[in-house]
């Protein structure tokens, strides 16, 4: 059986800003709401897919310059029209490097200051909602 070793070097863009150099973790969860279609006479529950469900969680090293983490995220709080693009590897999308584009995502909250003595400041943000599309070319 073949085994593939995968070393993570993702690409993360939020809005038009590439945040890859400040991102230490990214989780993308995609799926659909389950809508029950069970009818009289069925012997078990049945479901069909409903609306898309999307959640993106990013862990970022905080920075306060123009086009950096704090300025980028602060401007997105409360907007439901953010576009996020995540790829497992930097570079062009392909069958082995799919690109996931999330449109109309919402950043409901943001903690702009997270700090402790002797540690790098990191923020964790979660975008929810919107729609996703997967591209392999």
Q: Mind listing the pLDDT tens digit for each residue in 35-67?
A: 999 999 999 999 999 999 999 999 999 999 888
91 vs 99: CA distance, rounded Å: 10
Selection from 19, 26, 55, 48 nearest residue 130 by Cα: 55
Q: What is the pLDDT of residue 108?
A: 96
Beta bridge partners of 107: 77, 127
DSSP 50-73: EEEEEEEEEEEE---STTSHHHHH
Degrees, nearest 5: CA angle 51-53-54: 145
Q: What confidence score (pLDDT) does residue 137 get?
A: 87
Domain boundaries, the chain: 11-34+46-135
pLDDT at 2: 58
The pLDDT, as a whole number, for residue 89 is: 85
Beta strands (DSSP E) in 88-130 are 99-107, 122-128
Q: If the chain, 137 residues long, is cut into consecutive pieces of 10 residues, what is the mean pLDDT of each piece?
A: 65 93 93 96 97 96 90 94 93 90 96 89 95 94
What is residue 66's predicted lDDT score, i.e. its pLDDT? Answer: 86
**pTM score:** 0.86
Q: What is the pLDDT of residue 67?
A: 84
Name the token pair of 58: 């990013």
The reported pLDDT for the residue numbered 77 is 96
């Amino acid at each position: 059986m073949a085994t593939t070793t995968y070393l993570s070097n993702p690409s993360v863009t939020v809005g038009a800003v590439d945040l890859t150099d400040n991102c230490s973790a990214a989780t993308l969860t995609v799926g659909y709401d389950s809508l029950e279609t069970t009818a009289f006479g069925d012997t078990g529950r049945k479901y069909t897919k409903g609306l898309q469900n999307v959640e993106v969680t990013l862990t970022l090293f905080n920075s306060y310059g123009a086009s950096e983490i704090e300025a980028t995220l602060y401007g997105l709080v409360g907007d439901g029209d953010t576009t996020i693009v995540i790829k497992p590897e930097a570079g062009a999308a392909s069958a082995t490097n799919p690109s996931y584009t999330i449109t109309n995502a919402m950043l409901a909250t943001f903690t702009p200051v997270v700090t402790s003595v002797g540690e790098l400041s990191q923020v964790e943000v979660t975008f929810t909602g919107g729609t996703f599309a997967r591209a392999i070319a």
